[in-house]
Amino acid sequence: MPLDWHSAPLSRHTPIDTGYRNTQNVRRFMREQCGERFRFDRPFMAWVRSGAPADLGAVVDEWLRLHP
């Protein structure tokens, strides 16, 4: 059963699947992990959807690496 990105509880271990969506739920999780400065931009969203990150932890780590 695919993950409901709109309402599922998210953690750093949540896998990025082919049904991934940049929902308010994901944005809320990312702000909790990265701080209020967090924003999705087009290149970063493309990277997330590229299949490179395996889970949300990798997404958080990459955003923090790009925005020290």
Q: Is residue 40 part of a domain?
A: yes
Taking phi over 0 as left and psi of -120 to 50 as alpha, with beta for the rest, 41 belongs to beta
State the residue range of the domain holding 51. 24-66
Question: What is the Cα–Cα distance from 50 to 31, expressed in whole angstroms?
Answer: 21
Please, what sign has the CA dihedral across residues 29, 30, 35, 38?
A: negative
**Domain count along the chain:** 1
Q: Is residue 15 part of a domain?
A: no
Q: Is residue 12 part of a domain?
A: no
Give tens-digit pLDDT for 9-68: 999 999 998 889 999 999 999 999 999 999 999 999 999 989 899 999 999 999 999 999
Residue 1 predicted with pLDDT over 80: no
Residue with tokens 């953690």: 11
Model pTM above 0.85: yes
Q: Is residue 8 part of a domain?
A: no
pLDDT at residue 51, as a whole number: 85
